[in-house]
Chains A and B, each alone.
Chain A
């Protein structure tokens, strides 16, 4: 066989072999790997190159070496899932850099980190003053994660004592003008519902770039034609206003009527409705 043909076949074969190997080694982000894992990938890549270009003359030896590296990497990964000790040895432990607001100098030296680097890492986590940091830890991948002091944390609804309605992830039901049936049926909706919603907004399906339905079944769309103004769903706000109006009506009836019995009935129901309004508020207004 001609040399070039052998090279071609070998390259194609190794291309797919490498693809399968990398798939077998799992989904890890190359930027968030432990240094040793990174070396594993590089060495596997090098073996592939060396075998393809015939630098390792006996290709069976090359495959053997490649196989050992792949097998060990996968075996160590598997073992570190099974055992915490092996996991710690293979991946290393995380290092605490700041504890209770105090910088741990010895730990910083251990992880070969300078003060400048620590400050820059804190800044990238939006902690410009180290005094804002309660706890910082260097993960085994070299990432630095930061817990801000309680008074420097961003405000949440819980801090404000606000009740919020639970929300689940929205489903994308239209993409590039095509209806996606699977997410639709996941939400218990169908095409008829979608066509009805689009008719209500007054846009055609073909003009839709993205359409998402949120967990309460409101449809949000983005159109190809950006000069068209799409109304945001306001049904919930209107429903809330409607309930409040009814509450106000009941109160005024209670004032207007002469019958004592009716007065009691109106004011009792006004209180009831007020409770309903307050309870529904987080669900309808957000």
Chain B
């Protein structure tokens, strides 16, 4: 497995976790829980962005793996 595909896999895993978390945020009844979920979603958003940038940089360095 190439580095790019590994990073992409991790990104996908994180995004799936985010989606589940969003679902729970929408279903929760408790205000405090919702607030914590929102906060955590914001933090993970930053990580997702960083990983995306890293993938872009890797693709620029090694264009032969682009799109995989």
Contacts and interface: CB of A to CB of B under 8 A. Distances in A.
Interface in B14-64: 14, 16-17, 20-21, 23-24, 27-30, 32-33, 36-37, 39-40, 43-44, 46-47, 50-51, 54, 57
B43 A216 contact: no
B29 A242 contact: no
Given A168-B30, A216-B24, A253-B10, A279 B17 contact: no
Interface stretch (A5-13, A38-46, A57-65, A269-277): A269-277
A56 interface: no
A58 to B, nearest CB: 61
Contacts of A188: 27, 29
Given A217-B24, A235-B20, A272-B47, A256 B30 contact: no
Given A262-B57, A280-B36, 14 more contacts: A165-B33, A187-B29, A242-B17, A245-B13, A246-B17, A249-B10, A253-B7, A265-B50, A269-B46, A276-B44, A279-B36, A280-B21, A280-B40, A283-B36
Interface of B: 3, 6-7, 9-10, 13-14, 16-17, 20-21, 23-24, 27-30, 32-33, 36-37, 39-40, 43-44, 46-47, 50-51, 54, 57
Interface of A: 165-168, 187-189, 215-217, 235-236, 238-239, 242-243, 245-246, 249-250, 253, 256-257, 262, 265-266, 269, 272-273, 275-276, 279-280, 283
